[in-house]
């Protein structure tokens, strides 16, 4: 902030005004009592921070100095400045109560000293003019503040609208890419698989395997279309049940039912737990092959849920295929950490792949 801007500018004006008033008091010969003159001038330095207190002090000192014989023309300058500052305050108690009391005290003292017309009436005119100027300034400042606040709100709304529009454009671009690539590719795969099923002589086991492929492809195409249409996500438990059923039919050995403790979870933790089981089960079949097994263990208390999944290869010879954390696990790790939990994965006992997630069940703090 520069010297002539904001609070620095106000301090410079206050210093210059105080020096000018002190000089006028000294050269005019209006000072009858030095302590009362100081009491009139010194509190003005705090008139912006405590206008009601400053007005009470300056008003009382002005009344006392007037009764002591102070000149009216110069002696009223401090109290008019204090009135001007207090009248601009937003509180009606200060605008009317404090300003009215100070005006009454000064008018009474001036009337007693100089008479009802030359003293009291003149003090009324001077104080009322200063009060009206302060009220007008206060209204102007409040209107300007409200205008600035409204402009700030409008700028925030415009920024939010631009961000929303940018997000919508990005989503539209992603939707076009999905439609032009993934949906097209899955559709071609389904058409070719349907043609193979209709024209080829397949053994019953091979026909069943092809039917599972077709069912999985149709389900994937439906998921893509639902995502493009921004439809609401299906229930995580139902989605997981369908996924595990398809994986069992494809050759993955799974427990007959999920462990207890997953049904009455809070919605965010429940969705993450079901996603984790589905993703790990898919990885187990893809990397460890037909006949592989996935063990699921759940440990839950009042504060946290721990889900441990361990897969073992179904191959008769050779270990499980090499693998690391793919996009699914990386995405899940980000979501789990955002929820306040942890996700660990890696080799266990050399030939097994183990994924362990811990999710808090209570909000932090």
Strands 293-300, 352-360: pairing kind = unpaired
Residue 309 contacts residue 355 (beta carbons within 8 Å): yes
Asked if pLDDT for residue 106 goes beyond 80, the answer is yes
Residue-wise pLDDT tens digits, 236-251: 778 888 888 888 887 8
Residue given tokens 């539209």 in the structure block: 172
pLDDT value of residue 284: 85
Asked if pLDDT for residue 43 goes beyond 70, the answer is yes
Rg (CA), the chain: 41
Least confident of 28-37, 51-60, 146-155: 28-37
Q: Could you give the CA distance from residue 187 to residue 165 in angstroms, rounded to a whole number?
A: 31
Asked if pLDDT for residue 7 goes beyond 70, the answer is no
Residue 219 contacts residue 191 (beta carbons within 8 Å): no
pTM of the model: 0.45
**Average pLDDT of the residues of the chain:** 81
SS3 of residue 303 by DSSP: coil
pLDDT band at 3 (very low <50, low <70, confident <90, very high): very low
DSSP H helices, 115-199, are: 122-178, 184-199
Q: Could you give the CA distance from residue 335 to residue 358 in angstroms, rounded to a whole number?
A: 12
* Structure tokens, 310: 């361990």
Residue given tokens 């050995």 in the structure block: 253
Q: Which DSSP category does 253 fall into?
A: B
Q: Which long-range contacts (CB under 8 A, 24 or more apart) does 122-125 make?
A: 122/72, 123/72, 123/76
Centre a 10 Å sphere on the Cβ of residue 180 and count the other Cβ atoms it contains: 10
Q: Could you give the CA distance from residue 184 to residue 248 in angstroms, rounded to a whole number?
A: 27
- The DSSP element (H or E) to which 353 belongs, if any, is strand 352-360
Alpha-carbon distances, residue 94 vs 40, 41, 55, 85, 349 (angstroms) = 19, 20, 10, 10, 79
Residues of the chain with CATH 3.30.565.10: 257-365
CATH hierarchy code of domain 257-365: 3.30.565.10
* Structure tokens, 13: 């004006």
Q: What is the mean pLDDT of residues 34-50?
A: 84
């Amino acid at each position: 902030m520069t010297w002539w801007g904001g609070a620095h500018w106000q301090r410079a004006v206050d210093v210059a005004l105080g020096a000018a008033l002190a000089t006028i008091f000294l050269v005019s010969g209006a000072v009858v009592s030095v302590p009362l003159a100081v009491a009139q001038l010194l509190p003005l330095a705090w008139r912006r921070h405590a206008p009601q207190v400053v007005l009470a002090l300056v008003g009382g000192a002005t009344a006392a100095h007037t009764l002591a014989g102070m000149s009216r023309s110069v002696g009223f300058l401090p109290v008019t400045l204090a009135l001007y500052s207090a009248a601009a305050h937003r509180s009606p108690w200060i605008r009317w109560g404090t300003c009215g009391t100070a005006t009454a005290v000064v008018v009474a003292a001036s009337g007693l000293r100089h008479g009802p017309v030359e003293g009291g009436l003149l003090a009324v005119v001077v104080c009322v003019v200063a009060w009206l100027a302060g009220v007008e300034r206060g209204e102007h400042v409040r209107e300007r503040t409200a205008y600035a606040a409204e402009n700030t709100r409008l700028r925030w709304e415009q920024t939010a609208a631009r961000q929303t529009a940018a997000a919508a454009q990005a989503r539209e671009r992603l939707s076009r890419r999905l439609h032009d690539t993934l949906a097209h590719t899955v559709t071609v795969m389904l058409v070719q698989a349907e043609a193979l099923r209709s024209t080829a002589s397949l053994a019953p086991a091979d026909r069943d395997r092809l039917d599972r492929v077709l069912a999985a492809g149709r389900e994937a195409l439906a998921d893509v279309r639902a995502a493009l249409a921004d439809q609401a996500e299906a229930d995580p438990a139902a989605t997981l049940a369908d996924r595990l059923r398809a994986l069992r039919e494809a050759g993955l050995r799974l427990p007959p039912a999920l462990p207890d403790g997953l049904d009455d979870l809070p919605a965010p933790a429940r969705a993450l737990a079901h996603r984790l089981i589905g993703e790990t089960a898919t990885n187990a079949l893809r990397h460890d092959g037909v006949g592989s097994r996935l063990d699921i263990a759940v440990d839950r208390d009042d504060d946290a849920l721990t889900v441990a999944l361990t897969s073992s290869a179904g191959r008769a010879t050779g270990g499980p295929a090499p693998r690391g954390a793919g996009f699914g696990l990386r995405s899940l790790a980000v979501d789990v950490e955002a929820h306040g939990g942890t996700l660990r994965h890696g080799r266990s006992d050399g030939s097994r792949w183990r994924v362990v997630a811990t999710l808090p069940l209570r909000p932090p703090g």
